[in-house]
Homo-oligomer: A and B are copies of this chain.
Amino acid sequence: MSDTPMTYPIEIGGLTRHLPLFEVASGVRIAVLNVLGDTALVQAAATGLALKMSGMDYAVLVTAEAKSIPLIHALSVATGRPYVVLRKSYKPYMGDALRATTHSITTGDEQTLYLDAKDRELVADAHVVLVDDVISSGSTLQAMRKIMNLAGAHIAAEAAILTEGDRANWSEVIALGHLPIFTD
């Protein structure tokens, strides 16, 4: 382990962060970005993404809870567009919510997302941008796409602070950087 790096550096809008590496399988490590609590990085990422999205035709920002919520709020302030948070569990106050479940072929994970009744009208027939903090396996993105299709939204673009893994999978994603996956 002596020659194994413990962190991976990223740079977003002039801010550097040293992401801790976390072993997810034997000999396989990922760099963990958790922007909850990192106000400066979220503000810089929102500014950077808003700039890349300027001139694009879209009406609403959409994300899934919870780690991306500071980003979507800051991006809403920066772009002037409203946003929707897809929830991972149903709450009684969400009324006649839409629900979509996806199964990841690669990870086996099942993911269910809910669109609050109050937000259905906002996205119906609207051009939306799907936003996440990190797009890696794509399972959250797949669930967001599915529920937006059910809701009658048009997906104008997909955006993230960082993509991860095979960069070719995410060449269409608007992002500010890329994380490799580390194998021994």
A contact residues vs B (CB 8 Å cutoff): 20, 22, 24, 32, 34, 36-37, 39, 42-43, 65-66, 69-70, 72-74, 76-77, 82-85, 87, 92-93, 116, 118-119, 122
Contacts and interface: CB of A to CB of B under 8 A. Distances in A.
Contacts of A36: 69, 84-85, 116
Contacts of A42: 73
A53 to B, nearest CB: 16
A27 to B, nearest CB: 16
Contacts of A66: 65-66, 69, 85, 87
Number of copies of this protein chain within its complex: 2
B22 A92 contact: yes
A32 B83 contact: no
Contacts of A72: 70
A68 to B, nearest CB: 9
